[in-house]
Amino acid sequence: MTRVLPLILLLASSGAFAQLSEPHAVRDTVTGCVNVRDNPVSTAAVEACLGAGALVTVVDEVPFWREIRFDSNGRGWIAKKFIVPVPVPPISTSNTIPADAFLEVHFVDVGQGDAIWIQTHDDGVDGNGRFEGKSILIDGGPYSADDENPLREYVENIGHHGAVVEALIVTHPHTDHYRGAETISRHFDIEHYYDPGFPSTAVGYNAFLDAMRGTGGQTARANQTHIGEANFGVLDWGSELSAEFVYAWPGSNQGLGSGNTAVNNSSIVLRLEYGDHVFLFMGDAEGKDRHDPADPPQYVEQILITSHLSDIDATVLKIGHHGSETSSTTDFIAAVDPEILIVQSGRKPFSGTFIPDSTTLQRYCDHNSNIRIYRTDQGDAAAGLLHREAVDNDHVVIRTNGTGAVDVEALEGGNPIQVVSCNP
């Protein structure tokens, strides 16, 4: 049909017809069913007949008639008098989190690298922007081959093959972070891809970026890409969760060192707040050079202390740069004051050095001897494991409903263990 109603369209676009697109229902008082017609006149052909309580969406209107969508793809006109708006439950502004609404954070053993899976609670009510059961992945470890990537296997084993990943975050362009993310991008449906936008010349990384964006002749693997902090937008992973990128490469290396130091200091740093608990994920962000003293802070740690001192106090800290001596200055440790420290690392030597450095972990124990330190290289050094063999299911899983003690399950070789973190 053709109808020219420029006035109504103009008003609708200005929001005056607020009932458009809002849910309605066929009145309870209807007996039998009400005809849906292909034009807004009572002699028009009948397309369907809807019973009391049927849910419809109003998409257009003329006097006395409403055009509706119904079922999955039905569309037609119904007399206005037979439908009423359905009150939409207001999105709760309360910060109360139900006792069974757990946020889970999985630190997956990928050897030398980071691989973190965050799963928000699903309350079974879709579309109200709260407890939507979203999956967020930070980095993917160093292995891109399907059968070598522990993160792919881990996430799929829990039953999420082909699932929608709300956000895939690559903290920075180093192989122990992006290569495994490349596998993830081939096996899951990526809604948003986040990247600090550091100008890397690594061929594999640029091929990966092409695949995410759909440039260089590739088909885009992410529905939306956010390259560089100016393009991050506002994170919305559910109104129950506060998510913020508190740092990412600022567009220049000034004050960030050079070479690999600058790349590490381009890392996206994520802050999550859920109920009483804050999580801080540092990527490979650093605070000093290897042979510098433990204070004063430099690089990203100094920037965070300057710009975010009031909100980096965290229950859980994913340590920067795998616990290298280049992270964790004393002022930064004091500012974050973590109860739980997570170290993601493996047995790959860097010029003969394995990370984490024991001196780094000791600084956390010196700050708080009750700190709980969990590692994805748990027991690997003692067992004499080297590099690839150190990928042996030393996962760390955190669950919290936002109040009280945070529950941590630590595995060594896939078996639950108790961890003693600081020697008396």
Question: Whole-number minimum distance, CB 342 to Zn ion, in Å?
Answer: 14
The piece of 25-33, 38-46, 146-154, 167-175 that touches Zn ion (CB under 5 A) is 167-175
Beta pairing class for 415-417 and 407-412: antiparallel
Does 226 contact Zn ion by CB under 5 A? Answer: no
Q: Find out whether 40 and 77 touch, Cβ atoms under 8 Å.
A: yes
**Can you tell me whether residue 176 is helix, strand or coil?**
helix
Question: Whole-number minimum distance, CB 195 to Zn ion, in Å?
Answer: 14
List binders of Zn ion among 278-297 (CB under 5 A).
284
Does 139 contact Zn ion by CB under 5 A? Answer: no
Q: Could you give the C-alpha distances from 150 to 5, 110, 153, 348, 376, in angstroms and in order?
A: 58, 6, 5, 16, 12
Closer CB to Zn ion, 58 or 285, in the complex: 285
Does 348 contact Zn ion by CB under 5 A? Answer: no
Closer CB to Zn ion, 106 or 277, in the complex: 106
Question: Whole-number minimum distance, CB 263 to Zn ion, in Å?
Answer: 6
Which token pair is 419? 């961890």
Does 261 contact Zn ion by CB under 5 A? Answer: no
Question: Which residue do the tokens 């609404």 mark?
Answer: 101
Does 174 contact Zn ion by CB under 5 A? Answer: yes
Does 344 contact Zn ion by CB under 5 A? Answer: no
Which token pair is 265? 């200091």
Angle subtended at Cα 422 by Cα 408 and Cα 369, rounded to the nearest 5 degrees? 90
Closer CB to Zn ion, 54 or 137, in the complex: 137
Question: Whole-number minimum distance, CB 329 to Zn ion, in Å?
Answer: 18
Strand order in the sheet with 103-107: 222-227, 189-195, 164-169, 135-138, 116-119, 103-107, 396-400, 407-412, 415-417
Question: Whole-number minimum distance, CB 196 to Zn ion, in Å?
Answer: 11
C-alpha 162/C-alpha 157 separation (Å) is 12
Q: Find out whether 143 and 317 touch, Cβ atoms under 8 Å.
A: no
Does 264 contact Zn ion by CB under 5 A? Answer: yes
Q: Find out whether 83 and 27 touch, Cβ atoms under 8 Å.
A: yes
Does 176 contact Zn ion by CB under 5 A? Answer: yes
The piece of 20-28, 79-87, 136-144, 264-272 that touches Zn ion (CB under 5 A) is 264-272
Closer CB to Zn ion, 40 or 173, in the complex: 173
Question: Whole-number minimum distance, CB 374 to Zn ion, in Å?
Answer: 18
Closer CB to Zn ion, 138 or 165, in the complex: 138
Please state, as a whole number, how many other Cβ atoms lie within 10 Å of the Cβ of residue 11: 12
Q: Find out whether 327 and 357 touch, Cβ atoms under 8 Å.
A: no
According to DSSP, residue 182 is labeled H
Closer CB to Zn ion, 176 or 195, in the complex: 176
Which of 393, 398, 365, 361 is CA-nearest to residue 379? 393
Which of 105, 83, 92 is CA-nearest to residue 20? 83
In angstroms, the first-to-last Cα distance of the chain is 82
The piece of 49-57, 175-183, 195-203, 374-382 that touches Zn ion (CB under 5 A) is 175-183
The piece of 60-68, 277-285, 311-319, 327-335 that touches Zn ion (CB under 5 A) is 277-285
Closer CB to Zn ion, 37 or 348, in the complex: 348
Closer CB to Zn ion, 144 or 264, in the complex: 264
Question: Whole-number minimum distance, CB 318 to Zn ion, in Å?
Answer: 11
Number of residues that bind Zn ion (CB under 5 A): 4
The piece of 78-86, 176-184, 335-343, 355-363 that touches Zn ion (CB under 5 A) is 176-184
Which token pair is 163? 């699932």
C-alpha 191/C-alpha 237 separation (Å) is 12
Closer CB to Zn ion, 54 or 108, in the complex: 108
Which token pair is 70? 């119904």
List contacts with Zn ion (CB under 5 A).
Answer: 174, 176, 264, 284
